């Protein structure tokens, strides 16, 4: 039985980074991935696919260039599934290959099969050819998650999709109902609406993503409505019937909706059921998640750590990678990167993009922090005018010393632009940083300077009053 310093279970975002981190420090590492290819949901069904399909939808629809150059740049025919999925195949293939090369270069031994614990230090890997046993001094569980599947929907039917299956759709529907108004549902609503699909979202709460800044969310919903997305808030599906040509949904308020297809985005379930956790001395909690020390990511069994979707919030690819790196440092006491960043950005790939970092007006109000707002609209920014972007940058400062507390952005490129504000938050900078910085012109980045000026102006008016 071959022995390893670290066995990583799961070959997605977190698994790769954790394995490479340990190997970088000279540890003997094995990685076990149940699928034939690496990448997990990040590469194959979730993060990269949805973002790639978004870019494809924008390209096929000509939405970015609409009205800018006096010509119609939309595709001169109905987009096909082949059009829609072509770039996705290229991206997945290239990223899987990159991960394989990275692991190979760091001399990580890869196994493809289903892993389960035999005891706290022994891992069984089942393949079609039999079983392999390996011994682990330490274990990193990074098995990710899968879509939650409510029993009201018959997912074996071709017209009913979960968020993993939608990337393999057989045809582009003319109408689509999306059940769930979270990040994933909102992203898919936008990209399908951009392709001309009639999209309706059903959400049990009173709005979409409630964690967003209220002003940004209102602007996003306005833009989504202009794309053609319809909303049914405070609504739930009572029944779902699938026929050869359509899906009929009956809501709890008795409203009946008919669509070509349904996409169910009802959260995700941690992939821990096959691990035989009891043999390792572990017990899974709600939706299969594992409890860990939030500082070290160790489970109650000290030599076993868990990261990424299997431990729940925030369940982002970016944070999962960082968790894996930090977990490995603690497992081997490497005295290297001992903690994850205290502030992380959210990137939401709707149309337009939304991104945020730090506090919102709601959280500052709840904490009784006196703050001042500064905004800059891209419609009056030279670069924004050139590209036809009507987004918004919103900064939140502490009133007494003008230290930056929160950054919120809506518009194309928001998920890139947010990092200027994120670095300011990480360094505890105040408005002077933006005032004293010279930004390229014309750029959207320049909005930071004018948002800071706006905040200083509002602060001065209140002081004078």
In the chain, the domains with their CATH numbers are: 2-147+269-331 (3.50.50.60), 160-266 (3.50.50.60), 352-464 (3.30.390.30)
CA distances from 391 to 142, 154, 219, 322, 423 (A): 37, 39, 9, 30, 21
Q: Is the pLDDT of residue 463 over 70?
A: no
pLDDT at 372: 98
Q: In what order do the strands lie in the sheet with 392-398?
A: 346-348, 354-358, 404-410, 392-398, 371-377
Higher pLDDT, 41 or 265: 265
Question: Which of the pair, 286 or 5, is modelled with greater confidence?
Answer: 5
The answer to whether residues 134 and 3 touch, using CB atoms and an 8 Å cutoff, is: yes
56 Cβ neighbours under 8 A, 6+ residues apart = 83, 84, 86, 87, 88
* Alpha-carbon gap, residue 358 to 428, rounded angstroms: 11
| Length of the chain measured in residues | 465
Mean pLDDT score, 374-393: 94
pLDDT of residue 353: 96
Res 335: pLDDT: 86
pLDDT beyond 80 at 157: yes
Query: Is the pLDDT at 41 greater than 90, yes or no?
Result: no
Q: What is the pLDDT of residues 109-121, one digit of tens each?
A: 999 999 999 999 9
Burial class, 388, CB count within 10 angstroms (exposed 0-12 / middle 13-18 / buried 19+): middle
- Predicted confidence at residue 80, as pLDDT, reads 75
Is the pTM for the entire model greater than 0.85?
A: yes
Q: By the 8 A CB rule, do 216 and 410 touch?
A: yes
Per-residue pLDDT band at 15 (split at 50, 70, 90): very high
Predicted pLDDT at 129: 86
Average pLDDT over the chain, rounded to an integer? 93
- pLDDT value of residue 256: 95
């Amino acid at each position: 039985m071959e022995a390893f310093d670290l066995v990583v279970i799961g070959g997605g975002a977190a698994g790769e980074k954790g394995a490479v981190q340990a190997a970088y420090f000279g540890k003997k590492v094995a990685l076990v991935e149940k699928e034939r290819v690496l990448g997990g949901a990040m590469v194959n069904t979730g993060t990269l696919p949805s973002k790639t399909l978004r870019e494809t939808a924008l390209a096929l629809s000509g939405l970015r260039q609409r009205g800018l150059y006096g010509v119609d740049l939309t595709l001169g025919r109905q987009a096909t599934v082949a059009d829609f999925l072509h770039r996705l195949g290229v991206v997945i293939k290239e990223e899987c290959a990159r991960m394989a090369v990275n692991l190979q270069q760091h001399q990580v031994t890869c196994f493809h099969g289903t892993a389960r614990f035999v005891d706290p230090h022994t891992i069984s890997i089942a393949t079609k050819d039999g079983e392999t046993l390996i011994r682990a001094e330490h274990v990193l569980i990074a098995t990710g998650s899968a879509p939650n599947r409510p029993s009201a929907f018959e997912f074996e039917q071709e017209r009913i999709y979960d968020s993993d299956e939608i990337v393999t759709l057989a045809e582009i529907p003319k109408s689509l109902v999306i059940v769930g108004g979270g990040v994933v549902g909102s992203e898919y609503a936008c990209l399908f609406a951009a392709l001309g699909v009639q999209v309706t979202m059903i959400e049990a709460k009173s709005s979409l993503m409630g964690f967003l800044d209220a002003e940004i969310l209102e602007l996003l919903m306005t833009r989504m409505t202009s794309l053609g997305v319809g909303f049914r808030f405070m609504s739930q599906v009572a029944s779902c019937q699938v026929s050869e040509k359509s899906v009929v949904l009956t809501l709890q308020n008795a409203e009946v909706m008919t669509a070509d297809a349904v996409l169910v985005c009802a959260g995700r379930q941690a992939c821990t059921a096959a691990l035989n956790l009891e043999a390792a001395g572990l017990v899974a909690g709600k939706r299969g998640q594992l409890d860990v020390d939030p500082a070290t990511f160790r489970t109650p069994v000290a030599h076993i750590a868990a990261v990424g979707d299997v431990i729940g919030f925030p369940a982002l690819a970016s944070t999962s990678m960082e968790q894996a790196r930090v977990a490995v440092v603690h497992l081997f006491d490497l005295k290297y990167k001992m903690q994850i960043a205290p502030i992380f950005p959210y990137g939401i790939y709707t149309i337009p993009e939304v991104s945020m970092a730090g506090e919102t007006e709601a959280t500052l109000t709840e904490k009784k922090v006196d703050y001042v707002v500064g905004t800059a609209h891209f419609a009056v920014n030279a670069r924004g005018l050139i590209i036809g972007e009507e987004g918004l940058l919103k900064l939140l400062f502490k009133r007494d010393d003008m230290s930056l507390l929160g950054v919120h952005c809506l518009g194309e490129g928001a998920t890139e632009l947010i990092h200027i504000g994120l670095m300011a938050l990480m360094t505890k900078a105040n408005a002077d940083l933006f005032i004293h910085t010279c930004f390229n012109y014309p750029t959207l980045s320049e909005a930071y300077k004018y948002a800071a000026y706006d905040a200083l102006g509002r602060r001065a008016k209140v002081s004078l009053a």
